[in-house]
Amino acid sequence: MTLIPNKENKNIEFKERLIANVHLKEEKRQHLATQMKYLLETGKGDAIYIIGVDDGGKTKGLTDLEFEETVNVLKTIAMENNADIVKVERFRENGTLIGKVLIQKSATNGVQNHVILGVAGHVHHGKSTLVAALMTGKPDLKGTHWLYLNVLPHEIERRLSADLHFALMGFKKNEPLHLKNPRDKKERAQVVEKADKVVSFVDAVGHEAWLRSTIRGLVGQDIDYGLLVIAADDGVTHITREHLGLLLAMSLPIIVCITKVDKMGEKRISEVEEQIDNLLKNIGKIPLAIKDENDLRVAIDKLEAVVPVLKTSAATLEGYGLLNKLLLMLPERKKDLDKPFLMFIDRVYDVTGVGTVVSGTIKQGRLQAGKELLLGPDATGNFRKIKATSIEMHYRRLSEADAGLVVGIAVRGVKNDEIERGMILCEEQLKPKAVKSFEAEILILHHPTRIANGYEPIIHLSTVSETAKVKLIDKTYMKAGETGNVEFVFKYKPAYLSVGEKFVFREGKTKGIGTVTKIVKYVS
């Protein structure tokens, strides 16, 4: 059997075998990357590799392990060229294994319309189940939909989320693109590829013990809208109020979903609706019960003041039609595409065959794969040069990504253990400086007594989470409900931040919100 008789097409290359610890060393790696770049250009985005044959096309054959290693090396080199393997064919010839590998250039940003929702609410109020039912479009008849998002062993054992979970759904021609299995990486990548609009969800933690993770999700992901989930059986709780406060601190438009309405009678549901009305009116918001599309149109035009309230059931899918239409109608919030690229790092991974990958939400600007960036600040306030070798969004490879997208970026030039949450990736033209201290206007939300000079809360700003010492500027002390101007001095290491950014601070039962008003001291 002969797969390709000769190299008549200039985008075809024969490879006998590729070995990771040989061909991924710098010199050979660069040669392979340059060769693949040429193949992709001549093939108008497609490159074909025939593996297990010599340069003349004669069959040499590979073992199964050699075959997989060769494919993995090609995948790594493809990432250097903003490309990915899209198809691998295996053939047996004379008892040996040969293959055909198709590599394609990655898509550009591709997503025409994208919004991020932070999903908040008390534990067991149905946040994960709500998101899973939206993604699948199927009723949760067995009460197991939450398993699509909660995959850690201790989450399954305790039946609750212990960390942030990221999910998505898409719309094509105004219809939802449902997933058969939300855990399937290929399905999620296809949604990003096909959708006219993508809705990403940051599913926060509802248990009070993991409030820090919730703050990280709602403050650190640069979300566009807050989705507050309130169960019809429990109603409004202290955690409901706490999460609502976090959403308001970030100046986010808010949507409320009452869940589990199938389990309760009309009287109880009316009581919960009244609780929600009172809660929202007390903070100056206007609740609007959504009963039809006309109500949706009214709410969409006034989301800064109006809070749409929907009654839903994951078991019967009551209210999901209206919720889908609301998500479809949500406008993209303004993105700063003209500013230099900036992303706060939320998570760091060591991916086999790829290396170090960092993830987060792009705060501003646009990133092209292959671009050189700055990473930092480290503990001494310094930034270092690295290279962004590839970009992915929900497992879909992109050649570029815009502000507002939640992405994973493979980086080269730094070790995995040298990167920490709270660092930034940015373009050099941003000219970032590490901040040691800053002034802010703050509001104390909760405090059992009062705070004074020397108080040391933890600052949560984007993905930064650092202890800082407080110096009051215009008062000798502050109590719950009071506003004032203070100076924060980071206690252990500096961070990147800028004037106008909002943040949350907490220590024990004390919680407050603030806005950066002035940078006092940079690290020299």
CATH number at residue 364: 2.40.30.10
Residue 214: its pLDDT value, please? 57
d(C-alpha 147, C-alpha 128), whole Å = 8
Asked if residue 270 and residue 126 are part of one domain, the reply reads yes
Asked if residue 262 and residue 225 are part of one domain, the reply reads yes
**Beta carbons of 251 and 145 less than 8 angstroms apart:** no
Model confidence at 402: pLDDT above 70: yes
Asked if residue 229 and residue 117 are part of one domain, the reply reads yes
d(C-alpha 93, C-alpha 49), whole Å = 17
Q: What b/e sequence results for 469-485 when a residue is b if at least 16 CB atoms lie within 10 Å of its CB, and e otherwise?
A: ebbbeebeebebeeebe
In a domain, 426, yes or no: yes
In the three-class reduction of DSSP (H, G, I as helix; E, B as strand; rest coil), residue 162 is classed as coil
Q: Which of 160-174, 181-195, 354-368 has the highest mean pLDDT?
A: 354-368
Radius of gyration of the chain, Cα coordinates, nearest whole angstrom: 26
Residue 393: its pLDDT value, please? 83
Model confidence at 38: pLDDT above 70: yes
Mean pLDDT of 3-28: 79
Greater model confidence, 67 or 511: 67
Q: Look at 64-78, 99-113, 163-177, 287-301 and tell me which has the smallest mean pLDDT.
A: 99-113
Asked if residue 364 and residue 418 are part of one domain, the reply reads yes
Residue 219: its pLDDT value, please? 65
Asked if residue 445 and residue 402 are part of one domain, the reply reads no
Greater model confidence, 3 or 39: 39
Residue 154: its pLDDT value, please? 34
Model confidence at 327: pLDDT above 90: yes
Count of domains forming the chain = 4
Model confidence at 213: pLDDT above 60: no
Residue 314: its pLDDT value, please? 93
Greater model confidence, 379 or 248: 379
Mean pLDDT of 303-318: 95
Q: Which of 152-156, 215-219, 442-446 has the highest mean pLDDT?
A: 442-446
Mean pLDDT of 438-465: 89
Asked if residue 409 and residue 293 are part of one domain, the reply reads no
Mean pLDDT of 189-206: 81
% of residues, the chain, pLDDT over 90: 47
pLDDT digits (tens, 9 = 90+) for 240-262: 988 888 888 778 899 999 999 99
pLDDT digits (tens, 9 = 90+) for 355-375: 899 999 899 999 988 899 999
CATH number at residue 56: 3.30.110
Asked if residue 234 and residue 383 are part of one domain, the reply reads no
CATH number at residue 147: 3.40.50.300
Query: Among candidates 254, 230, 235, 257, which has minimal Cα distance to 312?
Result: 257
Model confidence at 157: pLDDT above 50: no
pTM score: 0.69
In a domain, 336, yes or no: no
Greater model confidence, 230 or 398: 230
CA 319 to chain centre: 26
Q: Look at 104-118, 137-151, 339-353 and tell me which has the smallest mean pLDDT.
A: 137-151
Query: Among candidates 241, 238, 164, which has minimal Cα distance to 204?
Result: 164
d(C-alpha 332, C-alpha 225), whole Å = 10
% of residues, the chain, pLDDT over 70: 89
Mean pLDDT of 262-268: 95
Kind of pairing between the strands at 113-121 and 83-93:
unpaired
Mean pLDDT of 454-473: 93
In a domain, 271, yes or no: yes
Query: Among candidates 406, 362, 354, which has minimal Cα distance to 78?
Result: 354
Model confidence at 313: pLDDT above 80: yes
pLDDT digits (tens, 9 = 90+) for 403-427: 888 889 999 999 989 999 999 999 9
475: number of CA atoms within 13 Å, CB side? Answer: 14
Largest CA distance in the chain: 86
Domain boundary among 88, 105, 122: 105
Asked if residue 232 and residue 190 are part of one domain, the reply reads yes
In a domain, 354, yes or no: yes
**Beta carbons of 343 and 426 less than 8 angstroms apart:** yes
Task: Please give the mean pLDDT across all residues of the chain.
Answer: 86
Query: Among candidates 363, 361, 405, which has minimal Cα distance to 197?
Result: 405
DSSP conformation letters of 383-434: -EEEEEEEEEETTEEESEEETT-EEEEEEESS-GGG--TT-EEE-GGG----
Asked if residue 155 and residue 20 are part of one domain, the reply reads no
Whether the link from the prior residue into 176 is cis, omega within 30° of 0, is no
Asked if residue 419 and residue 299 are part of one domain, the reply reads no
| Residue 18 amino acid letter | L
Residue 386: its pLDDT value, please? 95
Domain that holds residue 398: 342-430
| Residue 118 amino acid letter | G
Domain boundary among 74, 105, 136: 105
Model confidence at 199: pLDDT above 80: yes
Asked if residue 142 and residue 21 are part of one domain, the reply reads no
In a domain, 57, yes or no: yes
Asked if residue 187 and residue 44 are part of one domain, the reply reads no
